[in-house]
Amino acid sequence: HVAKHPEIFSASEGGVVIENLDPQSLEQMRDMLLAMDPPRHTAYRRPVSPEFRARVIARMEPRIRTITREILDRAAAIGPDVEFVHDVCAHLPSQVIGELMGLPREDWPAIHAMAERNSGGQDPDIAEAADRGSSSVDMAMYGIGFAATRRAMPVQGDLTDLLLGTEFDGQLMTDIDFGRFFVQLVTAGNDTTRTMLSSGLLALLEHPGQLALLRRRPELTPLAVEEILRWANPLHYFRRTALVDTELGGEAIAAGDKVAMIYTSANRDEAVFDDPQAFDITRDPNPHLSFGIATHFCLGVHLARLEGRVFFEELLSRFAGIALTGEPRRQRSNLNNSLKTLPVRLG
């Protein structure tokens, strides 16, 4: 109900995170797609949506499979013991986004590092205090410079060309607008997919019967990806601000009140899921809310599903034995449901 009624519950009014942001930070957030309300949200999302349709994304499967195999080759060369989050999972989404946007390969490591700091700002192991306010600025500045460079180059037909050549809200995207969009696309595409892959492997290792079933029946991989997303949703919540006095679940909500949509709870709703505390890769249907719903339904849903399917197909066919070698560590964050480390042995 909250997500379906932006005229009542606004993403833009107070931002989407649990903290009350200072005015400058709130204004910066409002320039991101995830914190826009219609009609502005519609105006910015509609031009890029065709590039993320299922049939368009499906064309990327051969390239994503090649990238995945290269990543696993490097992991095997490092191994057998690897830190799975950073040695393996982090590379796939950052490289796919790099290709999608035509980012120079030599810049990928630096872009990935900025995205890590930006999404891990609450964790002192990921972002030092001095870095927390600067990582998104660094990313935006890179995006602004990249946009200026690309305008002087021949058209390459990638997502960057689409963004720079399309009218948003009645005018062409400026370099500054591109920088803001770049921050959201790279951060969201990197962090949530990395979490899906690493948390997915952890869930399978903690449920060996399900892992054995998936090895026997790899055709279950698409369903397994959906169950991983339900079980280990990459984001805990997004927040909204009530614009008018209303009611929710029998409780009075006053204008200005904050309402959090807790996806972790929704994905274990006994009224929706049979045995919701069980990790079941055969669960079908699986109406989880890890991609959101309604206006802000995840733009990259088809890309994330493709990356997840290809990754687990390749991982389990490549390595006959995968085992934990230490205690996983979680990122300190009230927003991101992310692993910080996942030590495993690949055999």
Question: 242: closest CA among 7, 78, 82?
Answer: 7
| Residue-level pLDDT at 189 | 83
Kindly report the number of other CB atoms within 10 A of residue 222's CB atom.
15
| Whole-angstrom distance, CA of residue 136 vs CA of residue 125 | 17
Hey, what CATH class is 9-346 in? mainly alpha
| Residue-level pLDDT at 314 | 99
Boundaries of every domain in the chain: 9-346
Q: Kindly report, residue by residue over 308-346, the tens digit of the pLDDT.
A: 999 999 999 999 999 999 999 999 989 999 999 999 999
**Which 8-state DSSP code applies to residue 34?**
G
- 3 state SS of 201: helix
- The type of residue at 18 is I
| Residue-level pLDDT at 130 | 47
CA distances from 341 to 89, 127, 128 (A): 11, 15, 18
| Residue-level pLDDT at 126 | 59
The whole-model pTM stands at 0.94
| Residue-level pLDDT at 184 | 86
Q: Kindly report, residue by residue over 159-209, the tens digit of the pLDDT.
A: 999 999 988 878 898 999 899 889 888 888 888 999 999 999 999 999 999
- Burial class of 155 by CB neighbour count within 10 A (0 to 12, 13 to 18, 19+): exposed
Is residue 125 pLDDT above 70, yes or no?
A: no
| Residue-level pLDDT at 131 | 53
| Whole-angstrom distance, CA of residue 240 vs CA of residue 69 | 41
| Whole-angstrom distance, CA of residue 111 vs CA of residue 108 | 5
For the ranges 97-101, 265-269, 270-274, the lowest mean pLDDT is seen at 97-101
HSE-CB of 163 using CA atoms within 13 angstroms: 25
Average pLDDT over every residue of 258-275: 98
Length of the chain in terms of residues written: 347
Strand ranges for the chain from DSSP E = 9-10, 81-83, 167-168, 171-172, 237-242, 246-248, 251-253, 258-262, 322-324, 329-330, 339-341, 343-346
Q: Kindly report, residue by residue over 25-61, the tens digit of the pLDDT.
A: 899 889 889 999 999 999 989 888 999 999 999 999 9
Strand arrangement of the beta sheet that strand 237-242 belongs to: 9-10, 237-242, 258-262
Kindly report the number of other CB atoms within 10 A of residue 176's CB atom.
13
- 3 state SS of 133: coil
Question: Alpha-carbon torsion 164, 182, 114, 291, what sign?
Answer: negative
Bridge partners, residue 344, by sequence: 82, 324
Is residue 119 pLDDT above 70, yes or no?
A: no
Is residue 305 pLDDT above 70, yes or no?
A: yes
With tokens 């389990």, the residue in question is: 316
